[in-house]
Structure 1
Amino acid sequence: MSNKTKQSLIQATIDLIMENGLERLTINKVIKKAESSKGSFYYYFSNIDDLMKETFLYALEHSLIDFSYNPDKPFKENILSFGRYLIKMSTEKSPEHAIMFLWISKSYQDESYRRQFQEMRKQIIEENSVSKDFQKVFQVDVEWLYFIDVVIIGFLVHCLLHDDEDILLSIWKQLTNPIVYASRV
């Protein structure tokens, strides 16, 4: 079986969630949308929760895929560029952000989602491509990654509250100035 099949199942899941919401998602609907088979589904995923977990991690990584750090620029400028990137992604109303927020909200409602979310903590915060770059290029520590994750989630909520990019950029700068100062990078 190819990784393309797995990607197809994950993309079908994203599409179905965006079309019908999380509660109406079933294995049969995913298989049909992906034009796949139950055998293929169970080759990659043990159940619908496993699929949702993989879909969340895919959405997280995919939401970050177009951002890259410029090692030739100072840390502060890279942080500002990342804020602009987050604003851009929120104005484009990316399905990836929707999937992530749906998962987070589902974690408040359903204990099994909460446990899975907690089990993914390291993958979410430390092992995504942006975090790896931060660690490698700027040698930030793991505690810093957890702190910036909290800032990003709050900022993304504000991206839903404001349409003005200048206001959002001002908020981002206010949030990240202490981070930049504390990191001394």
Structure 2
Amino acid sequence: MKQKIMETGIHLFHQNGFKSTSVQDIVQEMGVTKGTFYYYFSSKEELLKDIHLSYIEEIVIQQEVILKNNSYDFTKKLYEIIFMLINNIQSKGPSARIFTRENRHLNEKHVEEIKEKRAQFRRNTQKLVEEGINQGVIKKEFRADILTLGILGMTNWSYYWFNPDGEVPVEKVVEIFLDMVLNGISNPEKVSNSI
């Protein structure tokens, strides 16, 4: 039942927004009583927190599986992480959008729990970027922390514009992002190094 409440919350928060969805809306959609809701969640905010935690915990697990795959080199690991984040827009679209859009409605205590999981994902990504620098795949003069935030910012922002059913498939978007990270966007024949 708890999972069903979370699924209904995800559906309604995605469709109507967190603020416009009440506990009554959730139980009415499910055909249960408010008592059923409050048996599993103390408030609508706690439900939102659990939706956030469930989403971030799952992507941290997926990320760690990628990072531990010894058959992947640095580039393949980075590709797979970017692919996973963007592909989640299609496979877990409503949860992904709620995760990015509705976090402002979480109270400070709940935000801290989610921040730690987000930080874990960022640290894991930064460790990979540091490996790329150490291997010489990425320029040594680049800061791993800034590159990491750039990569995550680029991929996370795609939740606002990427249409999984649009003309550009997820694989192509990932290839473009990876090429931008590893090779930049300038044509060396046309751009001078005057910066």
TM-score interval for Structure 1 and Structure 2 normalised by the shorter chain = 0.5 to 0.7
Match status 1:33 vs 2:39: no
Specify the code of the residue in structure 1 equivalent to 2:28: K
Change beyond 3 A, Cα 1:159–1:121: closer
Change beyond 3 A, Cα 1:55–1:159: closer
What is aligned with 1:6?
A: 2
**Scaled by the length of structure 1, what TM-score is found?**
0.63
What is aligned with 1:182?
A: none
Pairs within 5 Å for 1:43-58: 43-58=39-54
Cα deviations by residue, 1:32-66 (Å, 9 ceiling, x for unpaired): 32344333322322111111111111233456777
Q: CA–CA distance in 1 between the matches of 2:36 and 2:182?
A: 44
8 A Cα contact 1:45 1:51, kept in partner: yes
Pairs within 5 Å for 1:11-160: 11-62=7-58, 68-69=65-66, 70-90=69-89, 94-104=93-103, 107=104, 113=107, 116-126=110-120, 148=148, 151-158=151-158, 160=160
What is aligned with 2:191?
A: none
8 A Cα contact 2:52 2:99, kept in partner: yes
CA apart distance, 1:90: 3.1
CA apart distance, 1:23: 1.6
Change beyond 3 A, Cα 1:27–1:150: farther
Change beyond 3 A, Cα 1:170–1:19: closer
Specify the code of the residue in structure 1 equivalent to 2:17: G
SS for the counterpart of 1:120 is helix
Q: Rg larger in 1 or in 2?
A: 2
**Scaled by the length of structure 2, what TM-score is found?**
0.61
Q: Whose helix proportion is higher, 1 or 2? A: 1
Change beyond 3 A, Cα 1:158–1:9: closer
CA apart distance, 1:80: 1.1
CA apart distance, 1:156: 2.5
8 A Cα contact 2:51 2:95, kept in partner: no
Q: Percent identity?
A: 18
Count residues in correspondence: 160
SS for the counterpart of 2:8 is helix
Moved more, 160-169 or 50-59: 160-169
Gaps of 5+ in 1: 139-143, 178-185
8 A Cα contact 1:31 1:37, kept in partner: yes
Change beyond 3 A, Cα 1:123–1:89: closer
